[in-house]
Amino acid sequence: MGGWTAARKGLLIAFLVAFTAAISPSASAASPKKAKGSDYPPLMLQLPVDTGRRVPSSVVFPIYGDVYPHGLYYVAMSIGDPPKPYFLDIDTGSDLTWLQCDAPCVKCSKGPHPWYRPTRNKLVPCRDPLCAALHAGTIHDENCDQCDYQIQYEDRGSSLGVLISDAFNLRLINTTIVRPVLAFGCGYDQQFAIQNAPTPTDGLLGLGTGKVSVLSQLSDQGVTKNVMGHCLGGKGGGYLFFGDDFVPTSRMTWAPMSRSRNYYSPGPASLYWGTRSLGVNQMEVVFDTGSTFTYFGFQPYQAFLSAVKSDLSKKSLKEEFGDPSLPVCWKGPKAFKSVKDVKKHFKTLALNFVNGNRALLEVPPENYLIITKHGNACLGILNGTEVGLNKDLNIIGDISLQDRMVVYDNERQRIGWVQIGCDRLPKPGASSL
């Protein structure tokens, strides 16, 4: 959640904190009800608006934003009855989707749209299976009237609120319009890494592996398969899809999902600089679109940085210490205009995932360098220990996922990727790209 400013360097990997609060009566004129009998049917048992038997389809969303200078990628979704548009920050590193919510808002930044206004009949009771899933591993009272939450993110931001349910307006690729009722967070107290800054989004789209994620809920209701993919354009834009209709049947590199973490991880990887092994221990890796940049633990970061500086010691580039954009930067004889001006001085970084069959993720200079407004080339791979990450956690962020389709196949428990331009969506059912 570090995001939502032009300088976002944040990490949206989240963990839940046990919390009890109450939505203000001013959110609705209706009086609160006791969670008993059939007053609150569990969301996972509710039928969506169209009650016919479904054949899962797919839905695709255009992506907006970029790594630099905006620092995030987001989609537009229509939520509510009648549906209203909201911009949501894409985050594969956390489960809960939430909107800045006028309940009333204790601490919310002004976003591009009016705050979502809840009503009491939208509250999710504590006994709902999705509330139990959200609070898995914490002390949870099933007899309370509403499902409160507080989520803290690795960049020290947080969202506090209550779980509610409302309709999501989706146009499937089979031309059907569906309005499944999904649970999400009504966040009425947000703490941002950078305070008092305007936000380009209205909330966050949690796409993690948990039962409360939008993808899991759509799959449980039979709207889409439990598969999603994204393509983040290196020059901005791209697309996000739910369902398996756009997954290519050839050219994809696949690695099994690691079961050691609750995040999207292809497991441990060896690190190479060009063709040379950097000699680090096999590093656990997480794919996280909620992080603008890539973060390595202390050992792989030092090995990587040492290799880069060793190569550049014989080049015309000089380290630049006055650029506030990122910690490690270089300048040339004249200002750089794009990565093309400087990429010849840098090698491709590669991660070889040991659990996959030759599962290699290549990270060329375009996927780890930023050309700043000052004309310098700066590293978009940062030291995770300096921002408080676990020393064994390595996060592959937006910068290193650009210009490739990444697929999270929860049906087959695998993660795949392929180099591709993100300006055009492949045709559904295509056998190759």
Beta strands 203-206 and 84-91 are: parallel
Give the Cα separation of 215 and 261 in Å (integer): 18
Strand partners, 67: none
Q: Are 93 and 184 in contact (CB under 8 A)?
A: no
Q: DSSP of 270-313, one letter per residue?
A: EEEETTEE--PPPEEEEE-TT-SSEEE-HHHHHHHHHHHHHHHT
319 backbone dihedrals φ, ψ, rounded to 5°? -65, 135
| CB neighbourhood size of 20 (10 A) | 11
Burial class (CB in 10 A: 0-12, 13-18, 19+), 143: exposed
Report the candidate in 68, 96, 75 with the shortest Cα–Cα distance to residue 5: 68
In angstroms, rounded to a whole number, what is the distance separating the alpha carbons of residues 205 and 184?
9
224 to each of 148, 185, 432, how far by Cα in Å? 28, 22, 22
CA 72, distance to chain mean position in Å, is 9
User: Of 183, 178, 185, 214, whose CA–CA distance to 202 is shortest?
Assistant: 185
Cβ atoms of 158 and 1 within 8 Å: the answer is yes
Nearest to 207 by CA among 425, 402, 406: 406
Catalytic machinery residues: 91, 288
Rounded to whole angstroms, how far apart are CA atoms 135 and 162?
12
Type and span of the H or E element at 133: helix 129-134
Cα separation, 53 vs 299, whole angstroms: 53
Give the Cα separation of 381 and 277 in Å (integer).
Answer: 18
